[in-house]
Structure 1
C-alpha cells in the first residue's frame, strides 16, 4: 500500500513523498482527519530553531496533535471508522521509574521522526486512545496539548503541599488557558489567578476567579503555588514575579518552552524553600486520564471549543502552507486543519 507523507524539507517548504506501508505488521492504520498546529510545529515551519537542529531533523512530517479514523486494524482492537486520538510519544525500553515522556530513548512524532501530516499513519495499537462520542472532532484534534497540562497537574498533586488557597497561572495563551481551566475543575475551592499581558486575552478566562495584567499586580498579592505557561524570553520576567510573590515552600511548575537560557533568583528560591519542577509532553496514562476528566465535566468541552480559532479545509500542500501562515497571523486560539479525502 502506498502512503503520501507531507514533509517539511526547509523552512516554509513542504514536499510530498510516497512510501510503502507494510500491512503484515500488527499495527493499526489511521487516516488523520483533524490536525492541530502547535507552536513547536511553527518553530520548525518558520525556521526559528537553530540551523544545526533544523539540519538534523529535516526533512520531517510535522504535527503531533491529531485525531483520526481507523481504516484497518489487524489486532481487532478498534472498529473500522472508529474515532481515535494519536499519541505522539513512542517509548523505548520499559522503565518502571521514569515515565515514557522523559525517557531518553523515547521518540516523538514531529521531533526527529515523522509526525501525523500523512495520508495514513501506521501506528502501534498502544499509541491510540478512543475518542468518546461527546468530545467533538475539533477538540479531539488537540487532546495531546490538553494531556500536557493534565500531566503537569498530576505531578503538581504529588509535589505540592496541602495548602492550595490561591494558585497562580502566568500566561494568557493557549497553554495558560487550558491549564487554568483544568486547575479550576481539579481544585474548585481554590482561587485561580491568571496573570497575562493582554486584556483582550484575559477577558476569555471567564472560568477563573481573578485576572491581572503583569503591570498591575497588587502589592500584597501572595500565591501558594504557581504554573508558568509563558515560555521564551518572557519566562524571565514571569519567574522574577513568581519568585517574589509565591509563599514559602510553594511549588512552581515550569511549562513554557524557551529557546533561550533563563535566569532565576536562586537566593530567594533557597530562602523560601521553593519546589521547582519541569513538565514536558505526556504519556498514555495522561491521555486516558484527561479524556475521562473532560467527559465528566461537560462545561470543560464548551470552554475548549471557544479556543478553536479556525478550522481550515486541507486538500493540497498549498492548503497546508496557507494554514500555517494563517496560524502565524492569529493572536489567540488553535488552528485546526480539516484533512479532506
Structure 2
C-alpha cells in the first residue's frame, strides 16, 4: 500500500516522501496529533548541528491518536480509536523499554506520526473509549510520561508523603500536579512557577507560589522538577533547599547542557534523585484507565489546548508549528486531514 510521509528535511522545511506500507500489523490513520517541545527544537533548528545532521530527515510528532484502518489479526476493529505508542523495543535486556538503548523512539531519530498511515505492532496501540475527547487524548503520551514517573516514585519513596512540590508552570508541570492530586488526594500539592498567568490555571492544587516569593518556613517532602533547560539548575537547587531529609527529587525536565547542583546539601539530607524519561505500554494503559475512571480530568486537561489547527497541506503544518512557537503555554493540536 502506498503511503506518504511528511518529513522535516532541515529546520522549517518539510518535504513529502512516498513509501510502501506493510499490512502485516495494524495500519492506523492519524486523526489528532500534538506538538511537543522536542518537535519544536527540531523544527526551529535549536538542537546542536551534529544532532540535526544525525536525526534529519525525519517525520516529527510522537503524541498522537488515530483510527484503525486494517488489522492483520482482527484484534482491533476497523474504526477503533487508538493511542499510538512511539517507543519501540528493539531487543531483550534487563531494562524497561523506555530506558533501554536498544529501543527506537518515533520522532527522535525515527519517523514519527506525520504521515497518511502508520504501521504498528499490536502492542504499540492502546484502544481508547468512544467517549474520550480526541483532542485531549492526542497528548496521552505526555500524560504517560508523568504517570510513569509517579509510579516509579511510589515504588522508591521512603520518607513521609504529606507535602508534594511541583516546580514548573508549563504543560508537564500542569499534568504532573493534576495526576499527583488525583493519585494522592490526601497529600498537599504545591506548585512553584514564575508565570502568574499560568499559575492561575492550577485551580486543582492546594497552593501556588512564585519562585521568588516562597515563605521561609515552607518545606516539602518530595519534589518534582518539570522545568528543563538551563532554568532547571535553579529549580533543582531550590528543591534541595526546601525538601525535607530523605526526600526524593524527581527529574522530568530535559536540558541540552550539564546542570550544576548543590551536591553538599543533597548528601547532607540523604536525598534520592530519580530520573524520568518517556514511558511504556503499562503507563499508557494506566493513563487511559485513570481518565476513564475520572472523566472530570478532561475538563482540566482541555484547558491546556491553546490552538487547534486543521492540517490539509505542508503549508498548514508549517503554520501550526509557527503558531505553537509563539505560545507561552498550552498544547497545539493538529487535526490531521492532509
**1:193 equivalenced with 2:190 (yes/no):** yes
Answer yes or no: is 1:236 the counterpart of 2:233. Answer: yes
- The Cα offsets for residues 286-335 of structure 1, whole Å up to 9 and x where unpaired, read as 00011101211121111011111111000000000000000001111100
The answer as to 2:7 corresponding to 1:10 is no
2:4 alignment partner, SS class: strand
Pairwise mapping of residues 46-65 of structure 1 onto structure 2 (< 5 A)? 46-65=44-63
Normalization by structure 1: what TM-score? 0.98
In the other structure, the counterpart of 1:222 is 219
Give the equivalent residue in structure 1 for 2:74: 76
Structure 2 CA distance for aligned equivalents of residues 81 and 298 of structure 1: 22
In 1: Cα distance, 2:291 partner to 2:311 partner: 28
Question: Is contact 2:159–2:221 with CA below 8 Å preserved after alignment?
Answer: no
Pair 1:269 & 2:266 matched: yes
- Measured against aligned partners, the alpha-carbon deviations of 1:241-265 in whole angstroms (never above 9, x if no partner) come to 1100100000000000111110111
Task: Give the 5 Å matches for 1:105-144.
Answer: 105-144=102-141
Alignment partners' CA distance in 2, 1:329 and 1:267: 39
> How far is the alpha carbon of 1:145 from its aligned partner?
0.3
Aligned 8 A contact 1:34 1:337 in 2: yes
Counterpart CA distance in 2 for 1:21 and 1:128 is 17
Give the distance between the partners of 2:151 and 2:131, measured in 1 at CA.
Answer: 24
The SS at the match of 1:306 is: helix
1:177, 1:59 → 2: CA distance?
32
Distance 2:22 2:128 in 1: 26
Residue 301 of structure 1 corresponds to: 298
The 1:297/1:203 distance shift into structure 2, 3 A limit, reads same
Asked whether the equivalents of residues 307 and 331 of structure 2 are also in contact (C-alpha less than 8 Å), the reply is yes
Residue in 2 that maps onto 1:89: 87
Structure 2 gaps, min length 5: none
Asked whether the equivalents of residues 25 and 119 of structure 2 are also in contact (C-alpha less than 8 Å), the reply is yes
Question: Could you tell me how far 1:210 is from its partner in structure 2?
Answer: 0.4
Check the 8 A contact 2:67/2:78 in 1, yes or no: yes
Return the TM-score normalized by structure 2: 0.99
Match of 2:206 in 1: 209
Of 302-311 and 46-55, more deviation after overlay is shown by: 302-311
The answer to whether the Cα contact below 8 Å between 1:10 and 1:59 also exists between their aligned partners in 2 is yes
Structure-2 separation of matches of 1:249 and 1:225: 9
- Runs (5+) with no aligned partner, structure 1: none
Q: 1:66 aligns with which of 64, 67, 90?
A: 64
Question: Is the Cα contact below 8 Å between 1:134 and 1:295 reproduced in 2?
Answer: no
| Partners of 2:97 and 2:115 in 1: CA distance | 24
1:31 is paired with a residue whose SS is strand
Whole-angstrom distance in 1 between the partners of 2:280 and 2:331 = 22
* Aligned length in residues: 338
| Deviation for aligned residue 1:225 | 0.2
Matched, 1:313 2:298: no
1:93 deviates by 1.6
